[in-house]
Structure 1
Amino acid sequence: MKILIPVMLAVLGAGAGAGAGYLVPLDPSHLPLAHATEGETAIEMLDNHTEPTKIVKLSNQFIIPVIEDDGESALVIMSLSLEVTVEKSQSVFDLEPRLRDGIMKVLFDHSSHGGFSGRYYSEDKMAVLRKYLLQSAQDIMGGGVQGVLITDLVRQAA
């Protein structure tokens, strides 16, 4: 009798799962994926820009502490590049101190909200980070910034 109840629950759960699987459409475009919207938006943004762009690597890495309840638990080391229109490429170097300051604000905020904890490299967390990094760079440089590329990212335990 003790074994009968767990077996019945397992059969009932398997039946419910099979029924739900039968009712879900097989076309993946109907599935609600959180990162699909971000990816489609990024593709649409790239398609809308016909100006030639240039990738400009920021000169130094960014080092961000990851603070948890018991204090500093890790460091995140990151390298970034900006995709800018050709006429704005020199402006990246001229405005790099302001860009680094704005980017550091975004990175510290992301870290303080747990963005670099757990599965920090998940597509959802990375899409949010890229969005705010792009917004910060555009606020400083204007409309010439097309994208932010995370070229290196490592988390090192403290």
Structure 2
Amino acid sequence: MRKLLPILLALIGTGAGVGAGFFLMPAPEEHAEGEMVECITPEEYAKAEKPPEEEHEPETREYVKLNNQFVIPIMSEDRVSALVVAALSVEVTTGSTEIVYTREPKLRDVFLQVLFDHANIGGFKGNFTNGGRMEDLRGALLEAARPVLGDAVSDVLITEIARQDS
């Protein structure tokens, strides 16, 4: 009886699986009588899936990586509990790279203030790479960059970010 029970359970399980497979199988597609269904070869499919050749227009944006990373302390109970390290880049109009490097000290200052504020409201606690939190941070960084760089800036990119808990 002990040897028969596992075999019996395996047969019942297999039968239930096969029955569920037949029951849940999608219905075959029905075509009207005489309707031709077009079949194509893999080569024709590959040709059909290629995107049309587009003329590339000249880039109107440049990406300027800020020279040094930003280090943001995370405070808890009057001590540093973690450090967040972030690398940022700025998307600007073509030809504005020199403006970014000229105004980099002021830009770093406003970015640090935004990052410290984000840390103080708990933005780097828990799942800090959550899409919503990152979007909020990018938006705040962009708003801080506009007074410094004017209309030349169109986006701030967070290229690297890491948190080291102590």
TM-score by length of 1: 0.66
Deviations 1:4-35 (A, max 9, x none): xxxxxxxxxxxxxxxxxxxxxxxxxxxxxxxx
- The runs of 5 or more residues in structure 2 that have no matched partner are 1-57
Q: Decide whether the 8 Å contact of 1:85 with 1:144 is kept in 2.
A: yes
1:87 Cα shift? 2.5
Q: Which has the higher contact order (CA 8 A, sep 6+)?
A: 1
1:157 Cα shift? 1.1
1:51 Cα shift? 7.3
Aligned residues: 109
Query: Of the candidates 138, 147, 152, which is equivalent to residue 139 of structure 1?
Result: 147
Question: What is the RMSD of the two structures over their aligned residues, measured on CA atoms?
Answer: 1.4
Q: Which has the larger radius of gyration?
A: 2
1:129 Cα shift? 0.2
**Would you tell me which structure has more helix in proportion to its own residues?**
1
Q: Decide whether the 8 Å contact of 1:55 with 1:83 is kept in 2.
A: yes
Q: C-alpha separation between the residues in 2 aligned to 1:51 and 1:98?
A: 27
Q: Which amino acid aligns with 1:128?
A: D
Query: Of the candidates 73, 76, 79, which is equivalent to residue 68 of structure 1?
Result: 76
Identical-residue share of aligned pairs (%): 44
> Which 4+ stretches in 1 moved above 3 angstroms?
none
Q: C-alpha separation between the residues in 1 aligned to 2:79 and 2:129?
A: 22
Query: Of the candidates 115, 124, 128, which is equivalent to residue 123 of structure 2?
Result: 115
Match of 1:157 in 2: 165
